[in-house]
Amino acid sequence: MAKVRETYVCSACGANTPQWRGQCPTCKAWNTLDAVTVARETRSGVRRQGAPDSVRPRPLRDVSDEGGSPFGTGLEALDRVLGSGLVPGAAILFGGEPGIGKSTLLLQVAGAVAASGRDVLYLSGEESLTQLKGRAERLGVLHERLLAVATSRVEDVFSVLESGTPPALLVLDSVQTLTSDLAEGLPGNVSQVRAVATEVVDRCKRAGTAVLLVGHVTKDGNLAGPRLLEHMVDTVVSLEGDRRQMFRLLRVLKNRFGPNQELLVFQMAQRGLEVVEDPSTFFLGARDPALSGTAVVMAVDGQRPFAVEVQALVTRSYLAIPRRTGLGFDVNRLHLLLAVLEKRLRLNFGQVDIYAKIGGGMRLQDPGMDLALVAAVLSSFYDVALPERAVLWGEVDLNGQVRPVAAHDIRLGQAARLGYGPVLHPGEGRGAVPTVVELQARLFGKSGAPRHNPSE
């Protein structure tokens, strides 16, 4: 027996909607929607109709690659991290916290692609057309080839994709706000997200239209919806940062057309997001190297090196249990390194509060920051500033040894290009630091006796 579903049909205009509403979304008439039970058309039945020709095996070398050349997004830096721009038929998932700038960036891309002479369709389930036009005017991306539709039904754009000249780019903002007639429930639930994404990706691949999907994130920072959503798309991009800061980090987590774990730094400006071409020292800000408790780490995210300030404050505690706080990194890393310093350097942190953070609102997961974090804590503990142009990187193990980290040559080359010195790092050669004991001897004297103890 065929599956049945319940839909609501307007008695005035004949439009149907999967949910009851007081007002018809098409003709705006009130109290005209009546429940109707219809047979559901399954996707398996649709696919069987063209199966003999569409799924016939063919040699890969005989497959035509005509029309598969990528086109630019209007931002050269974004084209570089994506691999080679936007590939026709590709599906790219953009995730990020609310208000981080996802819609702003994608509207900029849509306007740039439209300005290059290609048709672009922007589907919004969150904003009205008036709101979209106002935002496009502020960004300066209004163009006759930039089309927009505001709807909550994904089927409303299928006629455009199946037309003789489908758009080169489809922006779906966002996948959690749309519904599909093939699934039950409210927008945003697992069934609806899966159905919407499956329908859109399948039809865009057949039409040769690149699609940019906007996805919401959970409170833990993960993409909302089923994990299947990340496997269905070709590229997964995350837009990160603090909404109270001016910078945004675009991180490529998955990419079938180029390298993953690439990083791009944006700066929020009046006309949208602007690319920071050289973020090497962007996160240092106006730091004062004469102050104690600060150290510079040459961090690497993807293949891009940049200098970041690590800050620490060691002060006398008035609590029964001293406080340990870390911002911008895993606080467990701070606990581990403090235990190593107490064991290997015979320091007493039992009467002091220790606070540490990454400067500029940055968040690091690079294991190479261990050595800089140790140096910042010791600098604040002894109240002695590090050398003005000192830079450090290296992973500290539980025995107090400094171990090599990935991209050592890239870090070393970037430190030399920026004129840093002394450069303290693991391994061999000039500037090599084998243990935290050697680090303390080089920076604060061989005796290791504190010149100033905050616990006194």
Rounded to the nearest angstrom, the gap between the alpha carbon of residue 134 and the centroid of all alpha carbons in its chain is: 26
Residue with the two structure tokens 């604060």: 444
Q: Which residue type does 345 have?
A: L
Q: Name residues whose C-beta falls within 8 Å of residue 430's C-beta, 6 or more positions apart in sequence.
A: 423
On the question of a cis peptide bond just before residue 174, with omega within 30 degrees of 0, the verdict is yes
Q: Is there a binding annotation on residue 434?
A: no
User: Does residue 328 contact residue 361 with C-beta atoms inside 8 Å?
Assistant: yes
Give CA–CA dist 420/412, Å, rounded.
Answer: 10
Smallest Cα–Cα separation from 293: which of 278, 276, 314, 277?
A: 314
Q: Is there a binding annotation on residue 92?
A: no
Give CA–CA dist 209/202, Å, rounded.
Answer: 10
77, burial (CB in 10 Å: exposed 0-12, middle 13-18, buried 19+): middle
Q: Which residue type does 18 have?
A: P
Instruction: Kindly write down the DSSP assignment for every residue of 413-424, as one continuous string.
Output: HHHHHTT--SEE
Q: Is there a binding annotation on residue 100?
A: yes
User: Does residue 159 contact residue 208 with C-beta atoms inside 8 Å?
Assistant: no
Q: Is there a binding annotation on residue 103?
A: yes
Q: Is there a binding annotation on residue 98?
A: yes
User: Does residue 24 contact residue 10 with C-beta atoms inside 8 Å?
Assistant: yes
Give CA–CA dist 391/216, Å, rounded.
Answer: 37
178, burial (CB in 10 Å: exposed 0-12, middle 13-18, buried 19+): buried
Give CA–CA dist 399/401, Å, rounded.
Answer: 6
Q: Which residue type does 132 have?
A: L
Give CA–CA dist 125/122, Å, rounded.
Answer: 10
CA angle 173, 177, 183 (to 5 degrees): 125
Q: Is there a binding annotation on residue 395?
A: no
Question: Between the CA of residue 7 and those of 56, 157, 180, 444, what are the distances in Å?
Answer: 36, 19, 12, 75
Question: Between the CA of residue 343 and those of 119, 229, 453, what are the distances in Å?
Answer: 65, 47, 17
Dihedrals phi, psi of 168, to nearest 5 degrees: -75, -25
33: part of which helix (H) or strand (E)? Answer: strand 33-39
Q: Is there a binding annotation on residue 99?
A: yes
Residue ranges of the binding site: 96-103
Binding residues for ATP: 96-103
